[in-house]
Amino acid sequence: MKAVRAVALTLVLALATLSQTNAQETLRIGAPLPITGALAPEGSKLKQGYELWLDTVNQAGGVKLGDKRLKVELVYYDYQSTTPKAVQLAEKLISGDKVDFLFSPFGSGAAKAVSAIAEKYGVPMLASSASSNEVFDQGYKNLFGLYTDNSSLSEPIADVVKEKLPALKRVAILGRNDLYPLSLGNEFEKSAKKRGLDVVYYEKYPIGTLDHSSALTQLRAANPDWVIVTGYINDLILIRKQAAELKVGGQIYTLINGPAYQEWIDAVGPLAEGVTTASWFHPVLDYKSEDIFGSTRKFVSLFKAKYGSEPDFTQASGAAVGVILQLAIERAGSKDRSAVREQLVRGKFNTFFAPVSFGPTGMANSYLPPVFQIQEGKVQVVYPPEVATGSFRTGLTH
């Protein structure tokens, strides 16, 4: 009987040890997401990117650490598109759910707020969708942003517009009163003035605005040649339609970040024609990579197989922060936060998204985002020349 009890006790201890080992074999990543609320379209896209990376990694056996592999677990909560709730949930993920690392909430404003929590607990956080310098000027050592700064969007577009429409003089800017869109509006103002253009109108609209007629009527009165609007998908669908109803003129429209999404094009129909935009990724790119996907084309193929459509830059961003974290952990040979942070600082990650390295503030500084124009209902890359799929056209805007 004693022998049986000894065997039973040994088995219990073995199972307990096995359970502890299995717990140690899991990599937990926290991700506050806007599943509901105004940013729900962007939140669902980020989640798709995360899950494609997660599935691909786990199907391959997990994140490789020497002769063992870590299964990846993603823990996410809906912060309902409100920044204070994102902050609250980030703290819960770290303190309550004991995640190893964080993916940021969507956009610059929420990412900046949550970065303070990541810094407080010493948790490296990868920001999938923050491009405002104001997010990265806090001196934090745990914040790493996938996107290049907003001037890398405004400057190339301004170059293209100035070259192709040399007579253009008057610029009107309407920006959502939110950290990223407003920062982007400021960058466009700088880029326009740098090229000797007159900014004849620059106003902000509140988050959640459903009727833009007053601002657009004032904008129309300014008689602009170039209309620039910043915001998110739902904002820019409304504004483009209402601008047409009010017969707002202009030789060219630039809207960010709506036209990069197929649903924006579908929602506005012919009004999409000729609109310009820019973003950090497009399926037409063809990087060879050292990540789990191996190339942009392979990533796009897997995404299409899973979701039935091509990925846009937000979906790709979700997968990209995953592969960067995976590469950093595998290089470090550990999920120790300090060791992984050191590899993130080192950079030089050849990913399907772009070659990614981070500058002194933690912001990516290693690639140039493409410029797009909607032509015949399709997104065409018009800059830079090495990835262009078409030429910039004038006279298209309705």
Omega before 350 cis (within 30°)?
A: no
In terms of phi and psi (left: phi > 0; alpha: psi -120 to 50; beta: otherwise), the region of 174 is beta
pLDDT tens track for 91-142: 999 999 999 999 999 988 999 999 999 999 999 999 999 988 889 999 999 9
Residue written as token pair 């000797």: 196
- Would you tell me how many other CB atoms lie within 10 Å of the CB of residue 229? 28
Q: Per the structure block, which two tokens stand in for 375?
A: 């032509």
Same fold for the domain at 5-148+283-356 and the one at 151-279+370-387? yes
Closest of 310, 344, 315 to residue 327, by C-alpha: 344
> Topology of 5-148+283-356 in CATH?
Rossmann fold (3.40.50)
pTM: 0.79
Delimit the domains of the chain by residue range: 5-148+283-356, 151-279+370-387
The CB density around residue 385, as the number of other CB atoms within 10 Å, is: 8
CATH superfamily of 151-279+370-387: Response regulator (3.40.50.2300)
Q: One digit per residue, pLDDT tens: the chain, 398 residues? A: 444 343 333 344 343 433 444 444 899 999 999 999 989 999 999 999 999 999 999 999 999 998 899 999 999 999 999 999 999 999 999 999 999 999 999 988 999 999 999 999 999 999 999 988 889 999 999 999 999 998 999 999 999 999 999 999 999 999 999 988 999 999 999 999 999 999 999 999 999 999 999 999 999 999 999 999 999 889 999 999 999 999 999 999 999 988 988 889 999 999 999 999 998 998 888 899 999 999 999 999 999 999 999 998 899 999 999 999 999 999 999 999 999 999 999 999 999 999 999 999 999 999 989 899 999 999 898 998 878 889 999 875 55
Whether the Cβ atoms of residue 114 and residue 82 lie closer than 8 Å to each other: no
CA gap 24, 71 in Å, rounded: 10
CA–CA distance, 181 with 232 (Å, rounded to integer): 8
